[in-house]
Chains A and B, each alone.
Chain A
């Protein structure tokens, strides 16, 4: 969609994109950490498009916006599996977005 729609989605979103995960970080670990800011609705672990293995990112969806905001405030920039993870607002998980977009199958980093 256009930029205005995108911004609107982000402002209402309950979903976070989480980056810089270790490739070995499990769904259970993500659940445990992110449950500290509220009940997690679901987690989608990002996968290497070719190998279909975890490749360092995931989506965390909460039931309420407030819970997601608190994750942005207090979990973003702290460590999981000894790595400082980064969270960002996400417009919402859609099928297909769980795959890395890099040419070799992994995730692209900025």
Chain B
């Protein structure tokens, strides 16, 4: 009986309901927790396993999402406009100089065929894992 009341007024916390919640905590802690959650987020849908929930998970690669989005393309995973945008974001994170837009002007161009050794490396530093006794960066 008290359960029905709760489902009808999920966002409200009447005095009566509070008492019911306390009673229920002894019986079904999960239900009490559910009530707490619904009180905080009234717009939360009924089924957490809905398709939009899972689609968010597929994009993010895990279940971590509090907010449900209906549209497939609206996601919280960081998207980059293009690879240039990605490289700039990475460079900012590492707090290093931005990668040059074009080939270094000091290098002779057109005179020789570049080899892999001539090209700048994508990853700037490879630090040994601390598990293997690597130094702090």
A and B physically associate: no
Q: Interface of B with A (CB < 8 Å)?
A: none
